[in-house]
Amino acid sequence: MKKHSIVILAISLLLLPGLLCAKPFGKVGTAALQFLKLGVDARAIGMGEAYTAVTDDVSSVYWNPAGLAPAFENQVLVSHTNWPAGIMHDFVAGTYTNGVQTFAAYGSVLHMDKIDITDEETFGPTGEQYTNSDLAFGLNFAQQFTNKFSAGVGVKYLRENLYTFNVNSYAFDVGSIYNTGFKNIKIGMALRNFGPDVRYRVDNDDDGLIDEDPFDLFDNDGDGLIDEDGPEIESKIPLSFSLGISGDIMRTDTSHWIVSAQLDNVIDRIETWNLGTEYKMGNLFLRAGYQINYDTNGFSAGIGYQIPTRFAIINVDYAYTDMGALAETFLKSAHRLSIKFRY
């Protein structure tokens, strides 16, 4: 136990200075693949995303791969989110475990309805339409090393489609969870979306060339214009580090009350502090959370119900996120619904 504590402390000391000393300048919009910051699972969202130390089920593939272990049941998660402006996010994941090691696979799709293409001269629709989408497919592995310490890693393929342009990339996740053994107090750390910068390769003039030299003065496609495809700027992906702590206010065989706190540091925004709580009474779950320094209101709440059946234990969860001025009404705010199967 002492050895693992030293390991966790060492990792914290190595990672935190570089992340926390970053100056909070205007970094919004400087990272690509923004969909990677959209959390999954209504339970986690209802707790204000203060979930890195809490996570203990299939949704760990997103929050902290270490949360996949220990596990004694196979699990499946299906999650759907309605965002403002007709944007939708769907997520599905499944796990296989032998009780010590857990393997998981997942897929994530952010998509939207088709949008009319507008002609810039007449300012009217041309009759054509387009759409945008983001995709992520990943594999995770986690292992319980002792009855108090677990760690996990993950790799994922990423793709973003913007009209006729697209970019492909990959990234890694790594995480750990340490249970102190007192009041179920857990310390969780996760480094997510560690991967290379991405760059869109655009051939606007359809001459088969990209990243043309803007100073060579050549008309490569013979249209009377020169160097229409200058080099595209590389963009980072949203690398994030989360450090969280959670514990029980009370716990019995049929109920519990969990509280959690978390620091999130994402490469293209200032740090956020997340607070969350979950109260379980029988098969009913009530949740609430708040994100400090968040660019919208930051408040979230949720409710869940557990349904035991012959073939599986089913959890149905709902979460609401206050989007502030981004949503005109309650119905147009962010709503999440997720279903988990444990069998």
Mean pLDDT of 257-281: 94
Distance of CA 306 to the CA centre of its chain: 24
Residue 298 lies in a domain: yes
Reported as a single tens digit per residue, the pLDDT across 107-160 is 999 988 777 777 777 777 777 777 788 999 999 999 999 989 999 999 999 999
Residue 238 lies in a domain: yes
Mean pLDDT of 261-282: 93
What SS3 state is found at 13? Answer: helix
Q: Which of 190-204, 250-264, 301-315 has the lowest mean pLDDT?
A: 190-204
Res 247: pLDDT: 96
CATH of the domain at 128: 2.40.160.60
Q: Is the Cα torsion angle 320, 321, 323, 324 positive or negative in sign?
A: positive
Residue 220 lies in a domain: no
Res 11: pLDDT: 46
Higher pLDDT: 228 or 187? It is 187
Residue 221 lies in a domain: no
Q: Which of 175-189, 297-311, 316-330 has the lowest mean pLDDT?
A: 316-330
pTM of the model: 0.82
Mean pLDDT of 45-57: 96
pLDDT at 253 over 70: yes
Reported as a single tens digit per residue, the pLDDT across 64-98 is 999 999 888 999 999 999 887 788 999 999 999 99
Residue 224 lies in a domain: no
Residue 210 lies in a domain: no
Strand ranges (E), the chain: 75-82, 87-97, 101-112, 115-119, 124-130, 132-144, 149-162, 165-179, 186-194, 240-251, 255-266, 272-281, 284-292, 299-308, 313-321, 334-342
Under 8 Å between Cβ of 104 and 139: yes
> Which residue segment(s) compose the domain that 71 sits in?
2-199+234-342
Res 16: pLDDT: 46
Written as six digits, the tokens of 226 are 């020169």
Residue 318 lies in a domain: yes
Q: Which of 247, 303, 301 is nearest to 280 (CA)?
A: 303
Residue 190 lies in a domain: yes
Q: How many CA atoms lie within 13 A of 283 on its CB side?
A: 9
Mean pLDDT of 52-61: 96
pLDDT at 209 over 90: no
Query: Per-residue confidence at 13, pLDDT binned at 50, 70, 90?
Result: very low
Mean pLDDT of 315-322: 94
Res 327: pLDDT: 64
Res 1: pLDDT: 44
Number of domains in the chain: 1
Mean pLDDT of 261-276: 92
Under 8 Å between Cβ of 173 and 193: yes
Res 25: pLDDT: 43
Res 319: pLDDT: 96
